[in-house]
Amino acid sequence: MGNCWGTKISSHNVSPACPSSAAGSNNNNKQCARRGGGRKAGGLTLSASQHSRSSRVSAALSMPNSNPATPRSEDEILQSANVRSFTFNELRTSTRNFRPDSVLGEGGFGSVFKGWIDENTFAPTRPGTGMVIAVKKLNQEGFQGHREWLAEVNYLGQLSHPNLVKLVGYCLEDEQRLLVYEFMPRGSLENHLFRRGSHFQPLSWNLRMKVALGAAKGLAFLHSDKAKVIYRDFKTSNVLLDSNYNAKLSDFGLAKDGPTGDKSHVSTRVMGTYGYAAPEYLATGHLTAKSDVYSFGVVLLELLSGRRALDKNRPSSEHNLVDWARPYLSSKRRLFRILDARLGGQYSLSGARRVAALALQCLSRDSRNRPTMDQVVASLQQLTDAVDDGSGTQKQLLVVGSGGHRSSRSRRYPNSPPDVYHQVVARNLNLNAPGAKSAAHHRRPSPATTRRRLSASPLPEL
């Protein structure tokens, strides 16, 4: 699992304030509760069963905080047939006593450990047998406390979707707070985009689009009438990947119910992660579904560029990814300058333009001009359908020279290796002719020859 948490945003003067449930807090502020009854959004009225779910979650989360030494009752936790209660000893055994070599990741909540349980009885099993799980153990001195833990149990316990990580169970025993998830073998999107090493190979263009679409579907479900939830902390470390690179959203500790009745927003304490939070949310504390759309735009930009939302290791003018990339997103001619070099030139030119335009929409400073997540899903679905049409047709690719300053159009064979040199050779081949050879069979030209060919090719009209 291994999701890594970013820097939490400190609150400033927004009203009303909502307690973050840090260890030792004692607050009975019910404004932070999930609200139920008479709930409408976007002209849609919730069904009776949806009203009931919201009301029950509201009651659970409105319970007052208490001193961490005082055990909380499981009455706070909404019953779910799909979520099991574990004892602390069961989880300790399944993770081999929380051994350091079982750690999958660490963050503000605490550490995540790999464990094994029986698929039918859920009893601990020997390592390598049974079902693999990820056990998140609350750090009592960490960023998050009981309220965030409870929010995650109740949200994931009540919501189910292919693009939300599955909550297997929880442990509430004395001061111990643990969450048990399905194991996500490929870890977080953050690791694949920004970590280097043999374990984290660069994601191809198609995989990036697949991940973007899956994450968008997860957010769209949360915003739908079935859930009406604002995620509030969408970022690459909270997007986990299964063995087939299917994206699933994790970490619901900061999630909030959407606005009710005729309200346009939820007023709440500003929390989240620097670089991902929408500007109007930072300025006013007004939270809407469009706040999540902005965060999605940041992640889409990270997928395009291979850069972090915030990176203090870069020149000062490039610290903030959105500020640095915005002019390039709006310039078709200069777009290639921000695209991730690790893509190796293997991406659809028209697709890159469309994704850049979508990211720019999501990052609009005026939230009213941002698309809904349903609209984002539709746009990305069209893009991935075009890539996966199964026809074997040639795709137009943008080829960036070694210095990143020149570009050229080229064609690619189906199943040809991702090599810029092979693409240059392939430009002059009739790929549909009988007996045509793969570019891999042609001798690799010298760098000087390649530079001449690139120089002789006209720049694409972006």
| Per-position b or e across 269-287, b if 16+ CB within 10 A of its CB | bbbbbebbbbebbeeebbb
- Residue 310 tokens, joined: 């915030």
Q: For residue range 291-334, list pLDDT tens digits in order.
A: 999 999 999 999 999 999 999 999 999 999 999 999 999 888 89
Q: What is the 3-state secondary structure (H, E, C) of 266-309?
A: EECCCCCECCCCCHHHHHHCEECHHHHHHHHHHHHHHHHHCCCC
Sign (positive or negative) of CA dihedral 226, 377, 287, 181: positive
- Residue 317 tokens, joined: 């003018």
Would you state the pLDDT for residue 63? 40
- Residue 446 tokens, joined: 């010298």
Give me the count of residues in the chain. 462
Diameter of the chain measured on Cα atoms:
77
CA gap 397, 430 in Å, rounded: 17
Query: 413 with 428: CB under 8 angstroms?
Result: no
Q: Verify whether residue 323 is a known catalytic residue.
A: no
Share of the chain residues as helix, strand and coil, in percent rounded to the nearest 5: 35, 15, 50
Domains and CATH numbers, the chain: 30-182 (3.30.200.20), 189-387 (1.10.510.10), 396-456 (no CATH)
Would you state the pLDDT for residue 198? 66
With a CB cutoff of 8 Å and minimum separation 6, the contacts of 291 are 230, 232, 277, 278, 280, 281, 367
Query: 285 with 278: CB under 8 angstroms?
Result: no
List the one residue out of 452, 397, 462, 459 whose CA is nearest residue 426. Answer: 397
Q: For residue range 94-140, list pLDDT tens digits in order.
A: 999 999 999 998 876 789 999 999 999 999 999 999 999 999 998 87
Would you state the pLDDT for residue 75? 59
Residue 202: cis peptide before it, omega within 30 degrees of 0: no
Would you state the pLDDT for residue 387? 65
Would you state the pLDDT for residue 149? 87
Would you state the pLDDT for residue 417? 39
| CA 369 centroid distance within chain | 22
Q: What is the DSSP letter of 428?
A: T
Query: 125 with 117: CB under 8 angstroms?
Result: yes
Sign (positive or negative) of CA dihedral 233, 237, 242, 246: positive
The three-class DSSP label of residue 44 is: strand
**pTM confidence score:** 0.71
Annotated binding-site residue? 137: yes
Catalytic residue among 101, 233, 251, 419: 233
Q: For residue range 438-450, list pLDDT tens digits in order.
A: 444 445 556 565 5
List the one residue out of 423, 421, 426, 415 whose CA is nearest residue 447. Answer: 421
Weakly modelled stretches of the chain, pLDDT under 50: 1-8, 10-71, 390-442, 454-462
